[in-house]
Structure 1
């Protein structure tokens, strides 16, 4: 198996376990459900690289957001880069998250 594919699958499985979700089989080539990991609230697109930078485009974010909305979930974009794990969400999602935390 290609090293990049193995790293990507490892990232997806690790994140799915951490968020209490599942990986989406065929998320890159299927038509029904997109994004790589999902749980009851989040639809998460995952990318991994060993490079010291990653180009995240507006098109990437809007595509992941559209896929999440079609699945009636919030969008997150997870990037594993040089061994660190990052998650990008919209400001609206971030503010909703803060409101939920304040209610606890």
Structure 2
């Protein structure tokens, strides 16, 4: 009689089932962390735009009308957060996320 070593079909199916269950548990956590990363990235971007807004005010003694004006003047290279929302600047120079998009 030959001594053949290997996995049976049942053993392979059990391993595939375990891997599938682990994937089903991991995928929602990955998407949740992606949203958190985008939110933190947007918060950091807003702080950076706030700094550029303050710099613009020091240079021109007035607040910029919009983030696109900062981009046109060379203070910014983009006006959109990592999550896709743009930023807005109010009349007092306060920068916030524009969630109306």
Same fold (TM over 0.5): no
Flag the structure with larger Rg. 2
Q: Report which of the two has the higher share of helix.
A: 2
TM-score (norm 1): 0.27
TM-score (norm 2): 0.27
Q: Report which of the two has the higher share of strand.
A: 1
